[in-house]
Chains A and B, each alone.
Chain A
Amino acid sequence: MSRNALLGLKRIFFDRIFLRSYWTWRKHPAIIVPSMLQSGLSLILQSVITLAVMLLLISEPADTQLARLFAAMISSRSGGLLGVLLNPAFWFTNIPLSTGVFVALILVALLGGGWVYSSEYGTYLEAWNSESIPISAVVSNGSRRWMSMAWTLLVSNLVTWGPAAIGLGLIAASLANINSPAGVVALLAASYAFQPLFFASLILSVFTVYSYPAVVVDGASGMGAVRRSFRVASHNLGLTLTYSIVRIIFQGLLLLVTYLANGLGVAASLSTAFIVVTLSFILTPILHLTKSMIYYHAGQSVRETPFQISNLIWRDVMRRLPRAVWLKIRAGLGEGLRFVVGPRNLPFHAASFAALAIGIYLGYNVSVSGVGSSLLGLGAQPGHGNPDFRQFTAATPVDGVAIFLNNWFVSFATAFSGLGFAAPSFISIMFTGFTLGVLVGPQLSPSLTMFSAAILPHGIIEIPSFLLAGSAGMRLGYAALKTKFRPGPESDAYLSKTMRLAVYVVVGLAPLFFIAGLIEADVTPFIMKMFGWTF
């Protein structure tokens, strides 16, 4: 006789699900691939902006506002997107282009987000109940429910953040008449209204937390998924709050680590790389898996999670995980080497190299046509290094690690953004070349020797590594195009194979980026000084 039937009790235990999520993450490394795709999606969004800025600079190289915009973009290595969007220079220089960019951004965010979330949550569900997960599962899950997920993404965000957006809209509207007394009163009223509206959004975010799992677990869509999320969250409020608090604390602790690291002299822009990588590859998959499985176990047909003694995560993290990571990196190095020398990959390498060369050419032309002068007018000093580099000494190798994490993460994004039919990878590499081209211009570089002293020590490893990531992205784009225009099992298999290859290639790039990062932090500044640079 089943005692639980006698009791009529079914409990969902947060710890049991959380711990099993960790072990699922360990057992199926494939579940971090959707997180990599997420970074690829961010790069696709960025590439829409970078392409627009490059086009604007090519058409108006003497525009000082655009030069300011470009300077802001290259000084912020990872978070420049929002700054560019909020910059009036971007808005008013070319209104049709900036409108087009915004429409493209929203479409890419929704459709790409739908595909990536569908892939992510579908893979979690499969990983929870399976012994092994092939990379092809990531692709098949993405293709299966991407439209429902995109629709849910839109509806869920409208429901959750709608009140806060209304509050912000009221503030923005009242700012238009700020010069009149009535405008000041309106601004005050809007500010007071914003607080409860924002608080309402925060409360709603707790209840809509299961919207995406609802799409893959129950096949719901849009408002249906949001409704199911509300129901599960309200029936399991303690559990949902536990999940939300755990998530907030993890993120808060990461911010605290960054804050303290900044106090110890680690540059802020670099320590955020640590947060991004930790969140993307470790915390987000485990927490999203936990969330999905809370929703899954809340279902009527799913039995209570059985009692089992938990194996200590800590021991695994300390003893087995580093070795497992190293084995993956070693396998990646082998795959990467085969990818480099494989004759069939030559066109992709050539495309990646061409993107860099075109970027350098365009950047150089733009630099001599006016951008160089504009940057000088904005305070750029030839022969004077980035002030951030002042902090770089041999005593702070942690900066090298942060550079490594940042560059490695960008290489993931560059490779996986190739899924957008290769264009984002191409644009990303081209923008790197464009930046180099602008900086090598005669007005900004006192001499080619000094420029080489600043770029080559680490760039000799870093730039080919980026090119390789871009090359993997080109192949991924080719595979995606093949699947689109010649659908069939052969194309699907090629896409899955290429995605697996891309994962291994970028994982295998880790040691190269690590060495390049250490050189950039600890060796390049010394060499720059030897060749006449000042800081």
Chain B
Amino acid sequence: MTSPQLVGQEPSLSTLVQMRLRTDIEIPIAWLLLPLASYLLWAVFAVAWWSDGAGLGTSDLTLVISGLGTLGLAASAAGSYLVFILVNRANEHSSRTRALLLSALSALEARVGISGTQALLPLNSAEEGFNKLAEVERERSAVLWALLSLIPFVGWIFLAVAQLRLSRDLAKHNRLEGLVFEDVDRTLRSIGMQGIPVRYAPVRPHDTLGIIIVICSVIELFSAFVLGAAGALILVYLTIGAFSIFWIDLSIRDPTGHFHYHSKLEADILRALPDGTSTSAGVA
């Protein structure tokens, strides 16, 4: 059995950099088939239920519809696993980044103590930036969001909300960690060391997509006058589901550039601050 180490140990800078291979994972795009299968099965289920004349609120399921529901639930479970992976990846990346920055700041503090006081200003700024990062960044519960997106039909709304939060969190994380990295770079240069190549490449949140989903859904709700309540709800489900799948695709791809940037940057940080100089760090 491989369980995590129950006794937590403060990981060193090099350990944290090595962890990148396990936290900053690239998710194969083929995994998109999981929510797609769930979307299609529940769509067929909804249409079959509706056309069967059962309508909403009827519990008299036929064998075929129950079979479709069971398959849909299995596919939803697989789809929610993808949501878990996406949210967990974001959590682990931001946690590792915080731990890495903490370790780097501790190492820098030791260096600045030796080199003089001219580096204190950027170092203080870096610490302030880090404080803000640690204060502002919140871990979303991957377990909660995966379970919420597992709920048939309604789960797609939660899935869309999860994607919105993921994209916003990534944008915020990118902006705030960029500020800390800039200060780390300035501190390194001020103590006569080679800096780290910081580039500012903003990651944009996909709020517009969220707004489009809401507008389309509201408009479709008016189709209840033509299609009836059940028909309108199915239409809303089809729309939210289609947009959510597109959004999952974006969520899978979005962090790739950010992760590549980290791989380069972290190697440079490690080169500038090898483990021997780092002091004990707290926990991020």
Contact = CB atoms under 8 A, between A and B. Distances in A.
Contacts of A256: 73, 152
Contacts of A310: 4, 88, 92
B91 A15 contact: yes
A314 B81 contact: yes
A15 B65 contact: no
Contacts of A3: 102, 105-106, 130, 281-284
B1 A246 contact: no
Contacts of B141: 14-15, 18, 242, 246
Contacts of B91: 15
Contact of B66 (A260, A309, A320): A260
B106 A263 contact: no
Interface in A12-28: 13-15, 18-20, 23-24, 26-27
Given A26-B3, A265-B63, A324-B1, A307 B284 contact: yes
Interface in B178-219: none
Contacts of B6: 20, 23-24, 131
A245 B144 contact: yes
B22 A309 contact: yes
A2 interface: yes
A263 B66 contact: yes
Given A15-B88, A249-B148, A320-B1, A307 B283 contact: yes
- From B9, B142, B284, name the one whose CB has the most chain A CB atoms within 10 angstroms: B284
A316 B1 contact: yes
B61 interface: yes
Interface string B145-161: 00110111000000000
How big is the A interface, by class? 35 or more
B51 interface: no
A11 B96 CA distance: 15
A311 interface: yes
A27 B1 contact: yes
B4 A18 contact: no
B70 A264 contact: yes
Contacts of A311: 2-4
Given A2-B282, A246-B143, A249-B147, A263 B2 contact: no
B144 A246 contact: yes
Contact of B69 (A4, A260, A324): A260
A180 to B, nearest CB: 35
Contacts of A246: 141, 143-144, 147
A290 to B, nearest CB: 9
Nearest to B148: A249
Contacts of A252: 151
Contacts of B92: 309-310
A527 B132 CA distance: 74
Interface string A385-414: 000000000000000000000000000000
A300 interface: no
Main secondary structure of the interface of B (DSSP, over half): helix
Interface residues of B, number: 56
B117 interface: no
Contacts of A320: 1
B249 to A, nearest CB: 22
A308 B109 CA distance: 25
Contacts of B102: 3
Nearest to A320: B1
A7 interface: yes
B6 to A, nearest CB: 7
Nearest to B101: A3
A9 interface: yes
Interface string A149-182: 0000000000000000000000000000000000
Contact of A5 (B9, B69, B109, B282): B282
Interface string B14-56: 0000010011000000000000000000000000000000000
Contacts of A306: 8-10, 283
A1 interface: yes
Interface string A479-499: 000000000000000000000
A306 B283 CA distance: 6
Contacts of B11: 307
Interface in B62-84: 62-63, 65-67, 69-70, 73, 81
Contacts of A6: 127, 131, 282
B278 to A, nearest CB: 12
A237 interface: no
Contacts of B70: 260-261, 264
A234 interface: no
B78 to A, nearest CB: 10
Given A3-B130, A249-B148, 6 more contacts: A245-B148, A246-B141, A260-B61, A260-B73, A261-B70, A307-B283
11 contacts: A2-B280, A3-B130, A3-B284, A7-B134, A7-B135, A15-B91, A15-B141, A246-B147, A263-B61, A264-B66, A307-B11
Interface of B: 1-6, 8-11, 19, 22-23, 59, 61-63, 65-67, 69-70, 73, 81, 88, 91-92, 95-96, 98-99, 102, 105-106, 109, 127, 130-131, 134-135, 139, 141-144, 147-148, 150-152, 279-284
Interface of A: 1-7, 9, 11, 13-15, 18-20, 23-24, 26-27, 131, 242, 245-246, 249-250, 252-253, 256-257, 259-265, 303-311, 314, 316, 320, 324
